[in-house]
Amino acid sequence: MDILDALRSITGPDHVLTGPDMAGFATDWVGKYQNTPLAAVRPGSVEDVSQIMKLANDTQTPVVPVSGHTGLAGGAHAPEGSLMLSLSRLNTIREIKPDARLAIVDGGVVLEALHNAVAEHGLRFPMTFGAQGSCQIAGMLATNAGGSNVLKFGNTRALCIGIEAVLPDGRVLDLMSQLHKDNSGYDLRDLLIGSEGTLGVITGAVLKLVPAPAARATAMLALDNLTDALSVLNRLQEATGGTVEAFEYMPARYLTAVHTHFPDLKPVFDADHPVTVLAEIASTAPTDAQPDPDGSLPLVSTFEALLADAIEAGQIQDAIIAQNDTQRSQIWARREAAAEVCLARSPLVNNDIALPLDQVDPFLTRMTDELAALDPKADVLEVAHLGDGNIHYTVFPSDPALCDPIMERVEDVVREMGGSFSAEHGIGLTKLPSMQRRKDPVALEVMGQIKNALDPKGIMNPGKVLPT
């Protein structure tokens, strides 16, 4: 039997798309890579996925799992002759357990659909990022996505306690534990999380939920330097018991670019400051959300007092606190403009790097010198999840030929400072050269040994993550 007929007999003919019918699968959100698969197949059950993988394994057909197409590193690129395996029909929220604070979901559930479903129970799945309206849980897990609230809640890995996956030969791995403690053998869950579809297809997950916040307080802080910013972060964490949810660094040049790009967004402070930080704390305590007689929220008053102390200590130069949701949105708009502002010019070298928190400042200083030597005319725009040490460090070289040397130099400096060349977007295709150059060579060997053990025929999202 022809492989397409075999697929049709598994999923029904409507769910094996070829030719013009699979136009929606032609490229991902970034649009950098053109997909040329044999077909796109939409299984309707875990059993379908298992049968498809068995068929693919028997016929040595490469399979590229795809969920929301929103990855930034080409992890779902489908080469000639491959099958794209879409999770979009596996989109059932199997169960929400409010008392246990868990959601049990199919891999193809859209992140925002989960947000909305748990909100009805006064709960929150604390993972938010730009693509949430279309990205799916399985892709989020496969890339171990980050987002805006990693500082408080961790990355995707930290929010997942159970997983279900179909292995390259069709076996179904059932690790759908609902347990906070489960010490029974190797941690295969975390091996699959972040493996970017190269070890299996994630079909289900058990996710942690947290109470929805009762109150939030959001501020823009003006500071002299990043050392003070780190001290302020620690001060806020201690004083509030670790309730800082976002701590986002925007340097003066970034804000200037934002205000140029979006003239409606006026400067927040009268003067320019070397360092601006968006800080947000949140509380689930009803007492923090009960307005005082003067109408102010206790959480906001607490935040004001803490910031006043830091101003008195000379660590903060100026601060503005949002008094309502509209003001909060306006503050966030400056941070959320990052992609549009930073990707508006070409050529560019776009780095998604992570550093130890105390190395962010030395890195930026060092890179200023390095760039002065490599390309004195280069421009830089950076914006950072400072609380995570994660910098989106974009360089605009004066000459496209300088892109690679600059990228390598950034990697050099990051490595010397104990950082990572890849913080939250994954490796996919685009970071393979960096992976080859920068990853611990023994780790690369071990990854290869594991890949080979679990996918001896090499059919599972081939060519991604592991340099060859």
276 scored as a contact of a second copy (CB under 8 A): no
Q: Which one of the spans 8-16, 64-72, 227-235, 335-343 is the region binding a second copy (CB under 8 A)?
A: 227-235
User: In sequence order, what E strands does 144-243 have?
Assistant: 160-166, 172-175, 201-208, 210-211, 215-223
Residues 343-372 that bind a second copy (CB under 8 A): 354-358
Amino acid at 226: L
Q: Would you tell me the crossing angle of helices 298-312 and 226-240 to the nearest 10 degrees?
A: 140
Reference 43, options 69, 79, 67; nearest CA is 67
Cβ neighbours of residue 85 under 8 Å, at least 6 residues apart?
Answer: 40, 41, 43, 49, 52, 63, 64, 65, 66, 201
Q: Which one of the spans 22-30, 169-177, 244-252, 268-276 is the region binding a second copy (CB under 8 A)?
A: 169-177
Element spanning 382, H or E: strand 379-385
225 scored as a contact of a second copy (CB under 8 A): no
Q: Which one of the spans 16-24, 78-86, 88-96, 171-179 is the region binding a second copy (CB under 8 A)?
A: 171-179
3 scored as a contact of a second copy (CB under 8 A): no
Q: Which one of the spans 6-14, 82-90, 194-202, 259-267 is the region binding a second copy (CB under 8 A)?
A: 194-202
Q: Which is nearer to a second copy, 80 or 440 (CB)?
A: 440
CB of 170 to a second copy, least distance (A): 10
76-104 in b/e burial notation, b at 16+ Cβ within 10 A? Answer: bbbeeebbbbbbbebbebeebeeeebbbb
CB of 304 to a second copy, least distance (A): 14
Q: Which is nearer to a second copy, 32 or 180 (CB)?
A: 180
State both tokens at 200: 């299996």
193 scored as a contact of a second copy (CB under 8 A): yes
339 scored as a contact of a second copy (CB under 8 A): no
Label residue 357 exposed, middle or buried (CB < 10 Å: 0-12, 13-18, 19+): middle
SS3 content of the chain, % helix, strand, coil (to 5): 40, 20, 40
Can you tell me whether residue 70 is helix, strand or coil?
coil
CB of 399 to a second copy, least distance (A): 29
Q: Which is nearer to a second copy, 258 or 466 (CB)?
A: 466
- Residue from 385, 403, 407, 413 touching a second copy (CB under 8 A): that is 385
- Residue from 167, 222, 348, 381 touching a second copy (CB under 8 A): that is 167
Q: Would you tell me the crossing angle of helices 360-374 and 403-416 to the nearest 10 degrees?
A: 150
Number of residues that bind a second copy (CB under 8 A): 93
425 scored as a contact of a second copy (CB under 8 A): yes
CB of 157 to a second copy, least distance (A): 7
Q: Which is nearer to a second copy, 15 or 439 (CB)?
A: 439
The residues pairing with 383 across neighbouring beta strands, listed in sequence order, are 392
Cβ-contact 244, 236 below 8 angstroms: yes
398 scored as a contact of a second copy (CB under 8 A): no
67 scored as a contact of a second copy (CB under 8 A): no
432 scored as a contact of a second copy (CB under 8 A): no
d(CA 190, CA 9): 33
Residues 8-47 that bind a second copy (CB under 8 A): none
Taking the alpha carbons of 197, 198, 203, 208 in that order, is the dihedral positive or negative? negative
421 scored as a contact of a second copy (CB under 8 A): yes
Q: Which one of the spans 92-100, 112-120, 327-335, 339-347 is the region binding a second copy (CB under 8 A)?
A: 92-100
CB of 441 to a second copy, least distance (A): 9
d(CA 208, CA 223): 36
435 scored as a contact of a second copy (CB under 8 A): yes
172 scored as a contact of a second copy (CB under 8 A): yes
- Residue from 26, 100, 113, 374 touching a second copy (CB under 8 A): that is 100
420 scored as a contact of a second copy (CB under 8 A): yes
Q: Which is nearer to a second copy, 88 or 144 (CB)?
A: 144
CB of 375 to a second copy, least distance (A): 26
Cβ-contact 105, 93 below 8 angstroms: yes
φ/ψ of residue 441, rounded to 5: -60, -35
Tell me which DSSP letter residue 294 carries.
T
